[in-house]
């Protein structure tokens, strides 16, 4: 490992940030958004390149990172296993060694969390988790920015996660620890979040069986698809088991009067959320999607060293 490698910061999980860094990053995202809307150009990443490895599909993550790099003065390269040597079995460690000698940061969307960890262990440049089966930390940056813009600090508030105990749920649990809010999780039996992560979250996260109870008094209600990428074969079985966990107007009525509804998208209306909720007055899903751009620009600025 050389000196550059050992000093390098990665973003593989939300808890790779300290609390003060996370709070500052959200404020910076809000500031970068205002600068962009005011037409003020800001290009600290001139000549910098982000490599983006996608082993799963994406709309928001790809477009927000690529646009973000362009707005910051840099460049992004889309890499898919279909047309790189990664797809032909080149070891992840070798790919990390090679790519990180050419680019300034690498974003990876893949299946196993272990893959991003192995890549980061052999990378000379920052590695960003663009979604794994375990976590989706970039989404939570955008979600925390969105809450702050609408309702101020989330510290001390109550949020509800309703549906699958999946990658998004795990990152929400880490957000509850980092930003210090209460998260009430309602999942069908057998689809709970990882037990170790739940234990690590301590009193910040509590498991419920009843979505109404989880939503009770919540300032934020969030859900996600019932079958994530890679679980397409389970779709029919999950639809039946998850049916009582749809976020409906009745569930939202149990939340606080000014509760926000969030969804990372893509969404399935009539499954995890009713059309009346996602297209209703409490939904902030389009701002969440837009904030991927601003929050990740703040992240790129934070991780990629400038001025040399």
Catalytic residue among 16, 60, 71, 139: 139
Residue 95 touching ligand NVA (CB under 6 A): no
- Closest CB 285 distance from ligand NVA, rounded Å: 12
Report which of 146, 142, 160, 149 is spatially closest to residue 256, judged by C-alpha positions: 160
Alpha carbon 125 to its chain's center = 20
Residue that the structure tokens 């934070």 belong to: 302
Q: Are 181 and 154 in contact (CB under 8 A)?
A: yes
- Closest CB 297 distance from ligand CP, rounded Å: 16
Residue whose CB is less far from ligand NVA, 49 or 129: 129
Residue 224 touching ligand NVA (CB under 6 A): yes
Question: Going residue by residue from 118 to 157, which x/- string records binding to ligand NVA, judged by CB under 6 A?
Answer: -------------x----x---------------------
Residues engaged in binding ligand CP (CB under 6 A): 58-61, 131, 139, 264-265
Element housing 49 (H / E): strand 49-54
Distance CA(238)–CA(166), nearest Å, equals 13
- Closest CB 134 distance from ligand NVA, rounded Å: 10
Among this protein's residues, is 292 annotated catalytic? yes
Among this protein's residues, is 264 annotated catalytic? yes
Among this protein's residues, is 71 annotated catalytic? no
Element housing 3 (H / E): helix 3-7
Distance CA(98)–CA(96), nearest Å, equals 5
Residue that the structure tokens 């309702």 belong to: 151
Could you tell me the two tokens for 277?
Answer: 């909720």
Catalytic residue among 48, 122, 136, 238: 136
Among this protein's residues, is 47 annotated catalytic? no
Residues whose CB falls within 8 Å of the CB of residue 128, separated by 6 or more in sequence, listed in order: 10, 11, 12, 105, 106, 107, 108, 138, 299, 303
- Closest CB 58 distance from ligand CP, rounded Å: 3
Among this protein's residues, is 139 annotated catalytic? yes
Residue whose CB is less far from ligand NVA, 12 or 304: 12
Q: Which of 166, 171, 222, 288 binds ligand NVA (CB under 6 A)?
A: 166
192: DSSP letter: P
- Closest CB 61 distance from ligand CP, rounded Å: 3
Residues interacting with ligand NVA, by CB under 6 A? 131, 136, 166-168, 224-225, 228-229, 264
Show which residues are catalytic. Answer: 109, 136, 139, 224, 264, 292
């Amino acid at each position: 490992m050389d000196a550059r490698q050992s000093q390098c910061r990665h973003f593989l999980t939300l808890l790779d940030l300290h609390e003060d860094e996370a709070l500052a990053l959200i404020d910076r995202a809000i500031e970068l958004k205002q600068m962009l809307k005011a037409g003020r150009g800001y290009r600290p990443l001139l000549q910098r390149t982000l490599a983006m490895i996608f082993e799963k599909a994406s709309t928001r993550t790809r477009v927000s990172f690529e646009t973000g790099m362009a707005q910051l003065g840099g460049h992004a390269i889309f890499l898919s296993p279909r047309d790189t040597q990664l797809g032909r079995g080149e070891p992840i460690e070798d790919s990390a060694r090679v790519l990180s000698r050419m680019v300034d940061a690498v974003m990876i969307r893949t299946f196993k969390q272990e893959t991003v960890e192995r890549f980061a262990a052999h990378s000379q440049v920052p590695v960003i988790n663009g979604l794994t089966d375990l976590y989706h930390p970039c989404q939570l940056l955008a979600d925390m920015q969105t809450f702050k813009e609408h309702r101020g600090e989330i510290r001390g508030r109550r949020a509800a996660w309703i549906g699958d105990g999946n990658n998004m749920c795990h990152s929400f649990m880490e957000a509850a620890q980092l930003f210090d809010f209460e998260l009430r999780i309602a999942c069908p039996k057998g689809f709970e979040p990882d037990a170790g992560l739940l234990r690590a979250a301590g009193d910040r996260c509590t498991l419920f069986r009843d979505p109404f109870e989880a939503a009770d008094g919540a300032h934020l209600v969030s859900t996600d698809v019932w079958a994530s990428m890679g679980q397409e074969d389970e779709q029919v079985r999950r639809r039946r088991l998850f049916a009582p966990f749809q976020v409906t107007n009745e569930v939202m009525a149990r939340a606080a009067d000014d509760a926000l509804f969030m969804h990372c998208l893509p969404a399935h209306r009539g499954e995890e959320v009713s059309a009346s909720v996602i297209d209703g007055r409490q939904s902030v899903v389009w701002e969440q999607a837009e904030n991927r751009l601003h929050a990740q620009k703040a992240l790129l600025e934070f991780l990629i060293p400038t001025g040399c």
